């Protein structure tokens, strides 16, 4: 209205108008490892819609599936550097936050109820707080995950079958230790490189829950799902602390509301989609090996758990077993 000869508005209105003009729209970049078919991506899309609705389009979320912003660890570093904003991550955060290692200790969680009790209880609270403090990211919502199973091209039923077995693990120090201890030859690799690694024979196998085995098309390059069920875990959707702290209280609340609704949406999706994965993997030619001696794997991994965990981590592990 500069230079107009109209009467100036009353000061309050003037201020409100100025504030409205000053409202910046924010675009967050959200990178994750799964592809467009995976329930994490579908839930991320729903979350993006909810955030946009609840913030009157002040916050927009651009989603980059398939590690398009880099692997999980790189994306976390990019968020800290301010070139990305959101990621999906879990036990990999143990590289910064010791407590995050407790998210995925082999054979620690009995079932989903046990998992949820820990996530929603004091231990989960402590893990979230340490992630905020030491990783520099704020958890918004989470997905509970199905147990991780080992895939391969010949059946693996006992730790003895792991001799010479070159397998990929995510960037999780404890995973390297336990699989080495059990007799395999594990190496760290980003998720988006696993398919090609299997196809070219750089690795003989990998381990993940059925949903990722399914969405990533591993049936094309792996024959067996060995029901080791060695790790039950959960995974967070996180935003950089700095990115989140920049928001007004109102926007923070809107993001948190959207996160809460997205979590419910994701859980429903998980419950409806999950039952199909097994049959579809069988249709695509995979054999489920249910002849796995889980106790033998548990025993084979235990010394590595005892050696790798610090005293504080080990005591938390024992507390988890008691929940
Ligand atoms: O195998 C993988 O890459 C995924 O299942 C997850 O990224 C893995 O569980 C951890 O890296 C989670 O932090």
Cα separations in angstroms, 116 against 15, 112, 278: 47, 6, 23
Q: How far is the CA of 295 from the centre of ligand 1 (A)?
A: 24
Query: In the beta sheet, which residues pair with residue 59?
Result: 26
Question: Cα(182)–Cα(292) distance, rounded to whole angstroms?
Answer: 14
Q: Which atom in ligand 1 lies closest to the alpha carbon of residue 90?
A: 13
Question: Cα(43)–Cα(143) distance, rounded to whole angstroms?
Answer: 10
Residue 218 pLDDT exceeds 60:
yes
Residue with the smallest CA separation from ligand 1 atom 8 is 170
Residue 78 pLDDT exceeds 70:
yes
Residue 281 pLDDT exceeds 50:
yes
Torsion sign (Cα): 96, 97, 103, 107:
positive
The interface pTM score, or ipTM, of the predicted complex is 0.98
For residue 24, what pLDDT is reported?
80
Q: How far is the CA of 267 from the centre of ligand 1 (A)?
A: 18
CB atoms within 10 A of CB 306: 11
Residue with the smallest CA separation from ligand 1 atom 1 is 170
Q: How far is the CA of 209 from the centre of ligand 1 (A)?
A: 10
pTM above 0.80, yes or no: yes
- Rounded to a whole number of angstroms, the distance between the first and last alpha carbons of the chain is 64
Give the pair of three-digit tokens for residue 48: 């993006």
Range list of H helices, the chain: 11-22, 39-54, 72-81, 112-120, 122-130, 173-182, 194-199, 210-215, 241-245, 249-283, 294-308, 311-322
Q: Which atom in ligand 1 lies closest to the alpha carbon of residue 207?
A: 1
Q: How far is the CA of 147 from the centre of ligand 1 (A)?
A: 12
Q: What is the pLDDT of residues 103-115, one digit of tens each?
A: 999 999 999 999 9
Name the band, by pLDDT with cuts 50, 70 and 90, for residue 211.
very high
Q: Which atom in ligand 1 lies closest to the alpha carbon of residue 89?
A: 13
Q: What is the pLDDT of residues 152-165, one digit of tens each?
A: 999 999 999 999 99
Please list every protein residue whose CB sits less than 6 Å from any atom of ligand 1.
33, 72, 89-92, 170, 172, 191, 208, 212, 235
Residue 14 pLDDT exceeds 80:
no
Residue 19 pLDDT exceeds 90:
no
Q: How far is the CA of 23 from the centre of ligand 1 (A)?
A: 37
Give me the chain's average pLDDT, please.
94
Q: Which atom in ligand 1 lies closest to the alpha carbon of residue 191?
A: 3
Q: Which atom in ligand 1 lies closest to the alpha carbon of residue 168?
A: 1
Name the band, by pLDDT with cuts 50, 70 and 90, for residue 11.
low
């Amino acid at each position: 209205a500069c230079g107009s000869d109209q009467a100036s508005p009353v000061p309050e209105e003037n201020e409100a108008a100025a504030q409205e003009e000053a409202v910046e729209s924010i675009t967050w970049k959200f990178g994750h490892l799964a592809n467009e078919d995976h329930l994490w991506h579908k839930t991320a899309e729903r979350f993006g819609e909810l955030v946009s609705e609840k913030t009157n389009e002040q916050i927009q979320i651009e989603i980059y599936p398939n590690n398009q912003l880099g692997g999980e660890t790189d994306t976390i570093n990019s968020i800290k550097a301010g070139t990305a904003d959101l990621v999906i991550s879990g036990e990999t955060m143990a590289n910064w936050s010791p407590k995050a290692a407790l998210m995925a200790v082999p054979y620690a969680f009995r079932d989903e109820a046990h998992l949820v009790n820990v996530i929603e209880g004091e231990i989960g609270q402590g893990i979230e707080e340490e992630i905020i403090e030491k990783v520099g990211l704020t958890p918004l919502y989470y997905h509970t995950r199905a147990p991780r199973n080992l895939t391969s091209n010949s059946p693996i039923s006992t730790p003895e079958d792991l001799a010479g077995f070159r397998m990929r693990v995510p960037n999780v120090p404890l995973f390297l230790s336990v699989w080495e201890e059990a007799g395999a030859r594990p190496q760290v690799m980003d998720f988006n490189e696993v398919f090609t690694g299997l196809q070219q024979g750089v690795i003989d196998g990998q381990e993940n829950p059925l949903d990722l085995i399914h969405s990533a098309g591993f049936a094309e390059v792996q024959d067996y799902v060995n029901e080791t069920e060695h790790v039950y875990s959960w995974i967070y959707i996180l935003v950089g602390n700095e990115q989140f702290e920049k928001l007004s209280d109102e926007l923070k609340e809107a993001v948190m509301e959207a996160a809460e609704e997205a979590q419910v949406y994701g859980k429903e999706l998980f419950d409806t989609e999950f039952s199909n994965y097994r049959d579809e993997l069988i249709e695509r030619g995979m054999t489920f090996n249910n002849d796995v001696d889980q106790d033998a794997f548990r025993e084979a991994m235990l010394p590595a758990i005892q050696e790798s965990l610090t005293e504080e981590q080990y005591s938390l592990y024992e507390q988890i077993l008691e929940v």
